[in-house]
Structure 1
Amino acid sequence: MVTLNNATVLVTGANGGLGTEFVTQALARGARKVYAAARTPKDWDDDRVVPIRLDVTDAASIEAAATSAADVDIVINNAGQTTAGRLVDQPVGELKALMDTNLYGPIAVTKAFAPVLAANGGGAVINVHSVLSWIGIGSSYSVSKAALWMATNVLRLELAPQGTQVLGLHLGYTDTPMTAGVTAEKNDPADVIRDAYDGLEAGQLEVLADDVSIQVKAGLAAPVEALYPQFAPSR
């Protein structure tokens, strides 16, 4: 069973709202070391936090991180980005850049660290998804997160023989810099990360961090019109 106590953790996108919570709550649960990975690492004023440069879209950066952080037990693929506007209006190049960060980045990081995790007893990977993995109201962001959801399912199967737990975290709007312009009700990041770590230590493979994620996933078994009422037959 994976535990944060005495673990070594790597968090991508560590400078963001969720990333900061992943770092601080790992320490609160007894992690002995946390690699706080970001494109531009910052000082954390804690000897247990090791800032490292990691750009999830750069293969050389990923390989360097996997070499320097060879004692990692838990990898958290948290780095991500979003874009605005309709998918049909977005230049394909922008979509490819989004996929580089939100899909290919987590896959590349997991591939690089899989041998590290195996050598250290199996460990775990957490991939940060979204409720928008399951509902297409997020335009290209939904596309990228839906693809990451399936990648997580595949990686879970492929890494199971080496004893690596792969957990997918789904959440709705959460109060982070990425959602600064959203006026809807938002989750507290501290609650989301607490639930993620509770699920990890309980051996879960998926954590739905809020009611909207629970409701939307349940709706996947219903007709399409249940998730997209605008397509319901008019009376």
Structure 2
Amino acid sequence: MKVRDAVVLVTGANRGLGRAWARLLLEAGARKVYAAARDPRSIDLPDVIPLELDITRPEQVRRAAAECGDLTLLVNNAGIVRGGHLFDDEAFERARQELDTNLFGTLAMCRAFAPILGANGGGAIVNVLSVLSWISIPGGATYSMSKAATWSMTNGVRIALKPQGTQVVGVHVAFMDTDMTAGVDAPKASPLDVVIQTVAALEAGQEEVLADGLTREVKRGLSLERGVYLDAAG
């Protein structure tokens, strides 16, 4: 898929990776960029179309689909992390919140926009995943659960939409230099670099992006006799 002249919707576009997506797509020649956030007043980029969207609210997802009937590229960037351990008292509630946004909200967007992308020639969907789709870390087990489920869902969406010619790209990345990882003392990828890699993958017809060295190392480790996922990471 070519980004130039594309019509794009980016969720969670008010900061971090989502803001980098919206900015770079404009610079790359996208014809129109819908920038979605729960509070559209938090969108500060010029030349985008702010859109109120909470992906966990079905009525807002339906409204977005009705307003963006010209879409050719959907970037599912919105997500949350709550943190904590599986045996904390709050673990179920945190897991439900993360699954509601990261899995079910993303799936709702895919379902709402799949017919639109198909009608507009196929287009593409980008789902922002994580290295934690494959491993679990202390204090982030429920988030890892949500991203593992979203990875599986992404693979299912790819297969389901292949007949209509929709390219589906899963983006796996470890730590990025965003608000979400402000308290993490570790090497961090640049959001802009992650977007650049993903745009290149889109235009090359690829289906997966491994955006940093740690992510590539973990992916290789999945097939070891003792897979990297069998031990706690971090």
Interval containing the TM-score (normalised by the shorter chain):
over 0.9
Matches within 5 A, 1:219-234: 219-224=221-226, 226-228=228-230
1:170 counterpart = 2:169: no
- Structure-1 residue corresponding to 2:102: 102
Q: Which shifted more, 221-230 or 183-192?
A: 221-230
Q: Could you tell me the percent identity over the aligned residues?
A: 48
**Partner SS for 1:158:** helix
Residue 35 of structure 1 deviates from its aligned partner by 0.3
Residue 224 of structure 1 deviates from its aligned partner by 3.5
- State the one-letter code of the partner of 2:74: V
Query: Counterparts of 1:150 and 1:181 in 2: how far apart (Å)?
Result: 29
- Structure-1 residue corresponding to 2:113: 113
Q: Which shifted more, 183-192 or 63-72?
A: 183-192
Query: Counterparts of 1:163 and 1:146 in 2: how far apart (Å)?
Result: 25
User: Structure 2: where are the runs of 5+ without partners?
Assistant: none
Query: Counterparts of 2:111 and 2:229 in 1: how far apart (Å)?
Result: 34
Query: Counterparts of 2:228 and 2:91 in 1: how far apart (Å)?
Result: 30
Query: Counterparts of 1:230 and 1:24 in 2: how far apart (Å)?
Result: 36
- Structure-2 residue corresponding to 1:3: 2
TM-score by length of 1: 0.94
Maintained 8 Å contact 2:84/2:91: no
Residue 88 of structure 1 deviates from its aligned partner by 1.8
Query: Counterparts of 1:145 and 1:84 in 2: how far apart (Å)?
Result: 13
Query: Counterparts of 2:21 and 2:201 in 1: how far apart (Å)?
Result: 13
Residue 44 of structure 1 deviates from its aligned partner by 3.6
1:160 counterpart = 2:159: no
**Partner SS for 1:224:** coil
- State the one-letter code of the partner of 2:134: W
Residue 229 of structure 1 deviates from its aligned partner by 5.4
Q: For the structure 1 residues 131 and 230, does the alpha-carbon distance in structure 2 shift closer, same or farther, using more than 3 Å as the test?
A: closer
**Runs (4+) off by over 6 Å:** none
- State the one-letter code of the partner of 1:191: D
Deviations 1:161-216 (A, max 9, x none): 01100000000100001111111111111111110111111100000001111110
Q: For the structure 1 residues 115 and 227, does the alpha-carbon distance in structure 2 shift closer, same or farther, using more than 3 Å as the test?
A: closer
Q: For the structure 1 residues 226 and 124, does the alpha-carbon distance in structure 2 shift closer, same or farther, using more than 3 Å as the test?
A: closer
1:201 counterpart = 2:203: yes
- State the one-letter code of the partner of 1:70: G
Query: Counterparts of 1:225 and 1:52 in 2: how far apart (Å)?
Result: 42
Aligned length: 229
Residue 83 of structure 1 deviates from its aligned partner by 1.3
Deviations 1:98-129 (A, max 9, x none): 10011001100010000110111000000000
Q: Which shifted more, 35-44 or 4-13?
A: 35-44
User: Structure 1: where are the runs of 5+ without partners?
Assistant: none
**Partner SS for 1:87:** coil
- Structure-2 residue corresponding to 1:144: 146
Query: Counterparts of 2:87 and 2:21 in 1: how far apart (Å)?
Result: 35
TM-score by length of 2: 0.94
Residue 80 of structure 1 deviates from its aligned partner by 0.4
- State the one-letter code of the partner of 1:85: G
